[in-house]
Amino acid sequence: MRIDILTILPGLLEGPFSESILKRAVARGFVEIVVHNIRDYAQNKHKQVDDYAFGGGAGMVMSVEPIHLLTEKLKKERRYDEIIFLTPDGEKYTQKLANYFSTLGNIIILCGHYKGVDQRIRDHLITREISIGDYVLTGGELAAAIIVDSVVRLLPGVLTDETSALTDSFQDNLLSPPVYTRPATYKGWKVPEILLSGNAAEIEKWRFEKSLERTKKIRPDMISD
């Protein structure tokens, strides 16, 4: 899988991709992550990538030309399954979408800034608009890191225990059950006896019941009527 990220602040993405699972996934060839500086494609002396909005109003707007030039260059080099724009007014990101993105070959992620991008980019180049939540960030870089992390960990071979991702919260429309590790007793706080019983069927039953209980309490919106 290849992920190309278009940004005006590439330095913000150096940390997330140079540690832990993402670093190992890149090193082992499971994914190629390429960060592009949109300013490199600005056709003006000062490498400006934003301008005032037609019609007035507060804030600046990301210009159409550098984003278009960069996107077209990449599209000439390979086929992309999705070109994603990260924006607060996009489709809400979910585990279902992460699962879908993990099945693709190549994607482009455009990080928004200022008051957004020229609408012509959204109309003619973008195939999917994504929001990671109902709040506004300074830019799309942190959102891009979140999406890349959630997708890459699903790629076959990336996690040592590939079943781990399948038991995450949201995979079955339920939150995950509580988890415990050694010691079995700490300062009088005890692990539930069922988890120490060795009875696999009863343990799975307990986990399902706890998942359902937690979901009803914390995220009742996830429970179908």
pLDDT tens per residue across span 192-204: 999 999 999 999 9
The predicted model gives 38-67 an average pLDDT of 92
- Of all residues in the chain, the percent with pLDDT exceeding 70 is 94
pLDDT at 220 over 80: yes
Retrieve residue 106's tokens: 């190549």
pLDDT of residue 58: 85
CA distance 136 to 178: 31
Return the higher-pLDDT residue of 168 and 64: 64
Residue 212 confidence class, pLDDT cut points 50, 70, 90: very high
Residue 10: burial class (beta carbons within 10 Å; 0-12, 13-18, 19+): middle
pLDDT of residue 161: 64
DSSP string, 134-195: SS--SBSHHHHHHHHHHHHTTSTTTSSSTTTGGGSTTTTSSPPPP---S-SEETTEE--GGG
Rounded to two decimals, the pTM is 0.86
Check whether domain 172-222 has CATH 1.10.1270.20, yes or no: yes
Whole-angstrom CA distances from 20 to 17, 24, 149, 158, 182 are 8, 6, 10, 11, 24
Three-state DSSP at 218 gives: helix
Helices (H), the chain: 20-27, 64-77, 95-101, 119-124, 141-152, 200-218
Residue 176 confidence class, pLDDT cut points 50, 70, 90: confident
Retrieve residue 71's tokens: 């996107």
Residue 63 confidence class, pLDDT cut points 50, 70, 90: very high
CA 162 to mean position of chain CA atoms = 19
CA distance 37 to 2: 17
The predicted model gives 157-169 an average pLDDT of 66
pLDDT at 28 over 70: yes
Q: Among 27, 30, 9, which Cα is nearest to 154's? A: 30
Ranges of CATH 3.40.1280.10 domains, the chain: 2-152
pLDDT tens per residue across span 97-150: 999 999 999 999 999 998 889 999 999 999 999 999 999 999 999 999 999 999
Ranges of CATH 1.10.1270.20 domains, the chain: 172-222
The average confidence (pLDDT) of the chain is: 92
Question: Which DSSP symbol is given to 54?
Answer: T
CATH H-level superfamily of 2-152:
SPOUT methyltransferase, trefoil knot domain (3.40.1280.10)
Residue 168 confidence class, pLDDT cut points 50, 70, 90: low
Return the higher-pLDDT residue of 176 and 129: 129
